[in-house]
Structure 1
Amino acid sequence: MNDVTTVERSAPASLGQRLLGLMEHYRGGESPLAVPVFYRLAGPLDHAALRAALDALVDRHEALRTTYETSRRRLVQHVHEPRPVPLESLRTDGTPAALEGVMRELVRTPFDLGVSPVRATLLEVAPEESVLMLNIHHLSTDGWSGGVLAGDLGRLYRPGGSAVVPRPERPPMQYMDFSEWQRDRFESGALTGQQEFWRSRLAGAQPPALVGRPTGRADGAQRPGTHTFDLPESAAASLAEICRSRRTTTFAAGLAVFASVLHTYTGDTDFGLASMFANRLRPELADTVGFLTNLLVLRVKMPQRPTFQDVLEATQDIVFDALGNQEIPYHLVPQAQGERGAGLENILFQVMAGPEYQLSLDGLEVSQLAPPDGSGSRFDLEFALIPERAGVQGIVWYDQRRFESSWVRRLVDDFARMAVHVAEHPDRPVGEGGRR
C-alpha cells in the first residue's frame, strides 16, 4: 500500500466489502465496480470553489479517503487523514459521440485502491459548459451514498468567495464504525437467526430459466451493454395506480410486474430474483457514506396460472420479510446457490430510491447524464426503475454474451405493457408461459 498520508485507523473489510474484493480480484481490468456519476454544468463555474468543495467532501466522509490492501488473503481498509482531491481537467469535443467516448474511457480506467477510491474529472466542453465526473469505487460507496454526496457537494460549493470552506460537520457514524459494529454482531451470533431465515427460504431455489442467446453463457470477460428508457406515461400511471389501490410500494409493485413478465417468458412459478437493500437500520447511518448495501435474493413463489394479485401478494410478503432480515448478504447464506448455470444473484431488479443523485450548485444549471453505454454491471441482467416527478425512467445493464440488445428492448416493452394490463385486469392470469 502507498503511504500517501498518515493512517488514522485500520480494520478488516465489512461483510459486503469482502464479496466486492473477491469480484475485483477475479475480474480485474475493466471493473464493473466503478460507480461513476456525470453532471453537465452550464454557467460560470468557479473552479477554485469546486476544488474546495471536493476537498471538504473528502474531509467529511472517511470512506472517500480510505485505501485498501489484501493482507494474508484478507481485505483490509485504512482510513487516512484528509488530503486534497486531484481534479483532472480535460478538453473534449462537445459532440455526443466524442463526449460519450471520453466518458467511457474514464469509467474503464482502473482504480489504484492503494492510493484512493475516488477520481474527479472536469470535461470542458465549451467556455461555460462542462461535465463533472465523480467516479468512486464500490468499496467506498453505494446508491444511498450517492444521494448523500450530491447533497453535501451542493452545500459545500460556495462560488465567488475565498474558496476556503469551513471544516464540515462529520456524520455521527463513519463507515468504519459501521463495519466494526457489523462485525461484532456477526461474530457474536446476533445475525444467526437471519442466516437461518435465508437458508430455509432459499433452499432449492432456482433463477428464472431465461433462454437469452441460444449459445447460453460464454467464457471470457463480460461484454457489458446498457439500455436506458423512459417508461411510457400509461405504464408509469398504471404503476402508480397499483401502488395506490393495493396500498403497496413502488418496489413491491414493480417487482411483481417484473416477475409477471418473467413468468410469461419461462413458465416458472418459483424463482429467485436479486435486489439491493439499503441496510441502514440505525438512524445514525442516514448520512454515512460507504458500501452498506446488501445483496439479497427474493424467492417469488406463485400458484399455477397466477393472477397479478397472486404475484403481488407473493412479492409483498417476501419484501416485508426481507426488510427484517437485510443484515446478511446473500453470499453468507449457507448453501444458497442455484443450479441453472448462473447463480441466483445474476438477475436483479431494483428501484433506485432513497436520497436522489440530484445536484444543485449555486449559479449553475445542473443536469445528470446517463452513464455511457457499456459501463457494465456485476450481474448478467440488472433492471432498475428510477421514479421521478415527471414519470419513471429506467436502466438495464446486461451481459451481451447472454442477452442481445433486441431481447432487452423487448423486455422493457413487455414490462410496460404488463404494467398497464395488470392494473386494468389484476384478477386475470398474467401469462400462459412460452419462452422468448
Structure 2
Amino acid sequence: MTLRDPAAPAADHPTLRPLTDAQLGLWLAHQMRPGDTDLHVLRAFRISGPLDRAALARALARVTYRHPALRSLHPGDGPDGPVRRVQPPSGTPCWHDLGTGSDRELAAFHRRPFDLETEPPVRAGISRPGHDGTTLAAFCFHHIAMDGVSAVVFCLDLADAYRAETSPDGVRATPAPATGRDRAPAPAQAPASRDGDDARSAAYWADRLAAPPPPLLPAPAGRVPPTGRPARVRELRRGAATVRVLRQTARAAGATPHMVLTAAYAAALGEVFGRDDVILGTPVSLRASGEADLVDCLVTLLPLRVQLAGRDRTALLRQVRERSLEAQRHRAVPAAALARAAGTAVLESPYQAVIDVRHEQPPALPLWGCVSEAVHVEPGSVQYPLDLEARIGDGSLRLVLRTDAATVPALQADAVLAAVGRLLPHPVPWRAAPPDSSGPTSPKGVPA
C-alpha cells in the first residue's frame, strides 16, 4: 500500500455525516438494548512469535486513520436526529488489558457496552504473554460501523500496517484514507428521480408486506426487550459432497447457494410451525463500486416473503430467486418504512426468523513474523427469535441455529434444524450397478 504519516490529520475538526438507513436502525436498537452483545463484532487471535506490541498499536492507529468509521461518534443531537461525527485522528488508540488472556477475560471484553455518543465504535485489547509464549489480541466493534466484509478488510489492513512497522523492507507510512463513501461525491441526482425511486420502493414493500401472515411465535412479554435475548445454540454440519450438490443445484436454477438455503429454511419453518406463508429477514450488501476496501456497516436486512402452499422444491426455489432479486432492486429503504408496510412498531422487525449465508473465510490476521490463530466467542444473545447462520466452505457446510431461549422451546429448535438438514439437496449415494444376467458367469453362476 502507499503509506504516509498518521500524524498528518485528515481534518483538524470533526465532520458530520448522516447515518445510513441500516445505521439508524442499529442506533435505535442500541438505545433500547445497550448491552446486547449481538450488536458487537469480535475478532480475537492468539499470537505466537516475536510480537512487537508497540508496532501493533501504531498499526492500529494507522488503520483508524484510514477508515473514518472507526474514529466516529454517533450522537443523537444532530440537526435532524442521530448523526455520525467523524473525529480527527488522535494518535494511538487506548488498549485494554486482557490480563492472562483467559476465556473469561475475553468474554468480559466482548460484553462491555459501547457508549456510541462518546466513544468510537472500536476497542482493542491485549493480554500479557502466556506461559506458552502466546499473546491474545482482540478487537471489538459495534455493528453500526462494522459488518462481516469490513472485518476482513480491517484485519488485512492491520496486517499490512504492522508489516510496514516491523519488516526490514516495510514502508514507514500510513495507508491513504479509504475511498467508498468518503470519496468525492458523484454528480447530484435530480430530486424528482430520487423521489420517484423512493416512491416505487415504498409501493413495492407496501404491496409485498400487505396482510402479513400470523407470527410464528407468540410475542414476548416486553415488546422491545431491554437486552439481547439469551440464546440457545444448535449446530449441524455436512461434508464436501453436500456442498458440491448445493452449488450444482444453485447453478442449474440460475440461483445462488444463499437462495437454495433460504428456500430450505423457509420450507422447514413452514413445516415445523404449520405455516404456508413466512417472512424471513435476509441480509443484502449496500456496497457500491469503489467501496470494496471500506470499513463501515454496509449491509442491511430486508424481509423476504415466501409463500409455501402447493409448491414443489423447484417452484419454491424459483420464487425465492425472483423475490430476492426484487428485494435487491428496492434495498435502499428505511427500516421505519418496512415497519409501516408490515404494520409493526418502528423498533419491531417485520420478521421473526432471519438467515445469513456466508462463504467460509476463517478470520485471519497474518502478522509478519508471527502465527495467529482465531478465537471464537459465542455472543450469548440473539436479536431475533430464530436466527440461522450458514457458512459454506469448500469441504463443509456449517449450519448454526440460534434461538430465543425464552420463546422457542428446545424441541422446536431441534425440529427446525433437522428439517433444514433434511430439505437440503443431498448427494445421491453411490451404489454398484446390479449384475447383468445376460453377461458371462463363473461356473458357480456368479457374474464374472
Shared fold (TM-score greater than 0.5)? yes
Aligned partner (choices 385, 403, 406) of residue 380 of structure 1: 385
Change in 2 beyond 3 A, CA 1:52/1:399? same
Specify the SS of the correspondent of 2:123: strand
Distance 1:156 1:186 in 2: 43
Please give the residue correspondences for 1:7-26 in structure 2 after superposition, counting only pairs within 5 Å.
7-26=13-32
Change in 2 beyond 3 A, CA 1:390/1:322? same
Q: How big is the shift at 1:405?
A: 4.6
Specify the SS of the correspondent of 2:331: coil
Which deviates more from structure 2 when the two are superposed, residues 261-270 or residues 240-249?
240-249
Specify the SS of the correspondent of 1:344: coil
Match of 1:81 in 2: 88
Match of 1:128 in 2: 133
Query: Any unmatched runs of 5+ in structure 1?
Result: 426-436
Change in 2 beyond 3 A, CA 1:19/1:12? same
Distance 1:111 1:119 in 2: 9
Match of 1:361 in 2: 367
Match of 1:217 in 2: 220
Distance 2:272 2:38 in 1: 28
Specify the SS of the correspondent of 1:28: coil
The RMSD of aligned alpha carbons is: 3.3
Match of 2:253 in 1: 246
Match of 2:351 in 1: 345
Specify the SS of the correspondent of 1:69: coil
Change in 2 beyond 3 A, CA 1:177/1:226? farther
Distance 2:369 2:193 in 1: 47
Q: Is the 8 A contact 1:173 1:285 kept in 2?
A: yes
Match of 1:45 in 2: 51
Q: How big is the shift at 1:319?
A: 1.1
Does 1:272 pair with 2:283? no
Aligned partner (choices 334, 340, 344) of residue 335 of structure 1: 340
Q: How big is the shift at 1:40?
A: 2.8
Q: Report the AA paired with residue 240 of structure 1.
A: R
Q: How big is the shift at 1:187?
A: 7.0
Match of 1:300 in 2: 306
Distance 2:85 2:46 in 1: 33
- The size of the alignment, in residue pairs, is 407
Does 1:116 pair with 2:134? no
Percent identity, aligned pairs only, is 23
Q: Is the 8 A contact 2:353 2:387 kept in 1?
A: yes
Distance 1:85 1:291 in 2: 21
Q: Report the AA paired with residue 113 of structure 2.
A: P
Distance 1:32 1:129 in 2: 28
Q: How big is the shift at 1:43?
A: 2.7
Q: How big is the shift at 1:149?
A: 1.2
Give CA-to-partner distance per residue, 1:331-351, whole Å, 9 cap, x none: 3236322679x7423310111
Q: Is the 8 A contact 1:103 1:372 kept in 2?
A: no
What TM-score does the superposition give when structure 2 sets the normalisation length?
0.80
Query: Any unmatched runs of 5+ in structure 2?
Result: 1-10, 430-448
Distance 1:247 1:266 in 2: 29
Q: How big is the shift at 1:164?
A: 8.1
Match of 2:442 in 1: none
Q: Report the AA paired with residue 247 of structure 2.
A: A
Distance 1:181 1:119 in 2: 36
Match of 1:432 in 2: none
Q: Is the 8 A contact 2:37 2:228 kept in 1?
A: no
Give CA-to-partner distance per residue, 1:259-303, whole Å, 9 cap, x none: 1211211232222100111111x3122222212212200111233
Q: Is the 8 A contact 2:167 2:368 kept in 1?
A: no
Match of 1:67 in 2: 73
Q: How big is the shift at 1:174?
A: 3.6
Q: How big is the shift at 1:60?
A: 0.6
Q: Is the 8 A contact 1:206 1:270 kept in 2?
A: yes
Which deviates more from structure 2 when the two are superposed, residues 168-177 or residues 315-324?
168-177
Distance 1:203 1:391 in 2: 39
Match of 2:270 in 1: 263
What TM-score does the superposition give when structure 1 sets the normalisation length?
0.82
Change in 2 beyond 3 A, CA 1:381/1:207? farther
Q: Report the AA paired with residue 259 of structure 1.
A: A
Distance 2:186 2:364 in 1: 27
